[in-house]
């Protein structure tokens, strides 16, 4: 029991340091006795269930389905041709066909990767817009409630009832923006470098 108490104390102290433990003491309103509040939000739930999150997810799934529809059959055909050629006895004719097929396969791979890159770029643009909109909503709620921090629910072990703003934030986000046209664009160059 001693160990779990000290671990809890350490976790609480670490949280206070992360969000500015000294600010907690400085921001308290001694004249009224009101302590500043920490709000909690479930970002994963909002991403899954908000109108904007669902709209973005649906569009990306549609793009991925179209990619599979456009290239799936061709990919399977190339694979079948490659397997058939590999089963033939070695000959100069087989080597020529194999080289031609490898060029065809490289071209196919390049087309698929180009489309995947556009989808990924669109997903990044949508994520950026989503984050900006959610941040704007959460900041407004913080100001209204005189809070000084919002923590993701996944990082909170326990909390007092009434400080979870997930539903309020989702309702406001739904009213503010429910759709965003996910563009098909190449990701920024720096993100491409990081992926490689």
d(CA 147, CA 138): 10
| Ramachandran region, residue 162 (left: φ > 0; alpha: ψ -120 to 50; beta: rest) | left
Token look-up 């890159």 returns: 117
d(CA 141, CA 56): 24
Asked whether the beta carbons of 178 and 46 are under 8 A apart, the reply is: no
Q: Is residue 21 scored above 90 in pLDDT? A: no
For the stretch 72-97, what's the b/e string if a residue is b when 16 or more beta carbons lie within 10 angstroms of its beta carbon?
Answer: eeeeeebeebeeeeeeeeeeeeeeee
d(CA 150, CA 41): 7
Phi and psi dihedrals of 181, rounded to 5?
A: -75, 110
Domain boundaries, the chain: 36-195
> What confidence tens digit (pLDDT) does each residue in 109-159 have?
999 999 999 999 999 999 999 999 999 999 999 999 999 899 999 888 776
d(CA 169, CA 42): 10
Residue 96: what pLDDT?
92
User: Which two three-digit tokens encode residue 160?
Assistant: 């007092």
> What confidence tens digit (pLDDT) does each residue in 63-106 have?
999 999 999 999 999 999 999 988 989 889 989 999 999 999 99
Mean pLDDT of 157-167: 78
Residue 139: what pLDDT?
96
- Provide the sign of the torsion angle of the four alpha carbons 14, 15, 17, 23, taken in this order: negative
Phi and psi dihedrals of 178, rounded to 5?
A: -120, -15
Asked whether the beta carbons of 151 and 87 are under 8 A apart, the reply is: no
Q: Is residue 6 scored above 80 in pLDDT? A: no
Q: What is the mean pLDDT of the chain?
A: 82
């Amino acid at each position: 029991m001693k160990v779990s108490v000290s671990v809890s104390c350490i976790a609480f102290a670490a949280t206070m340091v992360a969000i500015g433990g000294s600010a907690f003491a400085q921001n308290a309103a001694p004249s009224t006795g009101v302590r500043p509040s920490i709000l909690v939000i479930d970002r994963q739930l909002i991403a899954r269930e908000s109108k904007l999150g669902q709209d973005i997810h649906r569009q990306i799934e549609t793009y991925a389905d179209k990619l599979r529809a456009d290239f799936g059959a061709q990919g399977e055909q190339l694979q079948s041709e490659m397997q058939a050629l590999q089963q033939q006895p070695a000959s100069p004719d087989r080597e020529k066909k194999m080289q031609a097929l490898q060029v065809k396969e490289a071209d196919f791979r390049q087309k698929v990767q180009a489309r995947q890159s556009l989808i990924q770029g669109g997903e990044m643009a949508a994520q950026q817009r989503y984050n900006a909109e959610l941040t704007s909503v959460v900041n407004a709620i913080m100001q209204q409630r005189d809070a000084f921090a919002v923590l993701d629910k996944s990082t909170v072990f326990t909390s007092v009832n009434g400080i979870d703003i997930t539903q309020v934030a989702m309702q406001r986000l739904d009213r503010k923006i429910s759709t965003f046209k996910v563009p098909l664009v190449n990701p920024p160059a720096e993100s491409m470098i990081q992926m490689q």
